[in-house]
């Protein structure tokens, strides 16, 4: 990600150029036939045309993909989408208007592709519950443990705490998805979530 804020990159190019690249990007979002949103030749052409560097182009692509994906999940109306870009994210009015026009013309097809890939629809997280468990295993359960000298009480027990998360979907007919973590696994999982949150914050700040 460029050190330049993505919104500054968006505002720094012409509105017409933004509309052109945004339309190309949204037509490829959710389309599995494209391995990447812009191929190498298109990236070089965009860098030369927009007079920006590769890092800024990546920021522009990621920002555009982010706002379109967010709008799709929220099924935003064009006016609401434009207001969000301008008032919440700081996109210039003319640039926000261009993005609005792209969203208005391409949203139906884009959301349709997402539905086909099951990214939208019934499986939406509605609630999360969790419980903790303490598993205790004793060496007495092992026949081999009766051999040899007596062990101390601390040697005979091995405890491990685990957490079980139940992910409830908005479809009540489906049972919740249960995921069990050890302490180390849970820590690593939340570290990954924190990295994802930082990435989202960098796009929306």
Domain final residue pick, 64, 88, 116: 116
pLDDT tier for residue 108 given thresholds of 50, 70 and 90 = very high
Is 179 found in the same domain as 154?
A: yes
Is 139 found in the same domain as 98?
A: no
Q: Check residue 3 and give its pLDDT.
A: 35
Q: How many domains does the chain have?
A: 2
pLDDT in tens, 123-155: 677 788 888 877 766 555 454 444 555 555 445
By CB atoms closer than 10 A (0-12, 13-18, 19+), residue 101 is middle
Domain-embedded: residue 187 = yes
Q: Check residue 52 and give its pLDDT.
A: 92
Domain-embedded: residue 1 = no
pLDDT in tens, 153-165: 445 456 788 899 8
Range of the domain at 193: 125-204
Q: Which residues 6+ apart lie within 8 Å of 108 measured at CB?
A: none
Q: Check residue 145 and give its pLDDT.
A: 47
Mean pLDDT along residues 162-189 = 84
Q: Check residue 71 and give its pLDDT.
A: 93
Distance CA 84, CA 62 (A): 17
Alpha helix ranges (H) inside 27-165: 40-50, 54-74, 78-83, 93-116
């Amino acid at each position: 990600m460029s050190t330049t804020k993505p919104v500054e990159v968006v505002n720094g190019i012409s509105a017409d150029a933004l509309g052109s690249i945004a339309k190309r990007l949204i037509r490829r979002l959710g389309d599995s036939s494209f391995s990447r949103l812009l191929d190498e030749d298109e990236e070089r052409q965009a860098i030369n045309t927009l007079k920006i560097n590769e890092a800024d182009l990546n920021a522009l692509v990621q920002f555009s993909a982010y706002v379109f994906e967010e709008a799709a999940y929220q099924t935003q109306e064009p006016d609401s989408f434009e207001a969000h870009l301008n008032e919440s994210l700081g996109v210039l009015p003319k640039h926000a208007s261009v993005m609005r026009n792209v969203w208005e013309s391409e949203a139906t097809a884009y959301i349709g592709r997402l539905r086909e890939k099951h990214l939208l629809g019934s499986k939406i997280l509605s609630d999360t519950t969790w419980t903790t468990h303490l598993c205790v295993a004793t060496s007495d359960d092992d026949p081999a443990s009766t051999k040899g000298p007596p062990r101390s009480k601390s040697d005979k027990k091995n405890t491990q705490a685990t957490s079980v998360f139940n992910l409830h979907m908005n479809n009540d007919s489906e049972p919740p998805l249960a995921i069990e973590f050890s302490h180390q696994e849970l820590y690593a999982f939340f570290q990954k979530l924190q990295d994802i949150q930082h990435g989202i914050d960098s796009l929306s700040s």
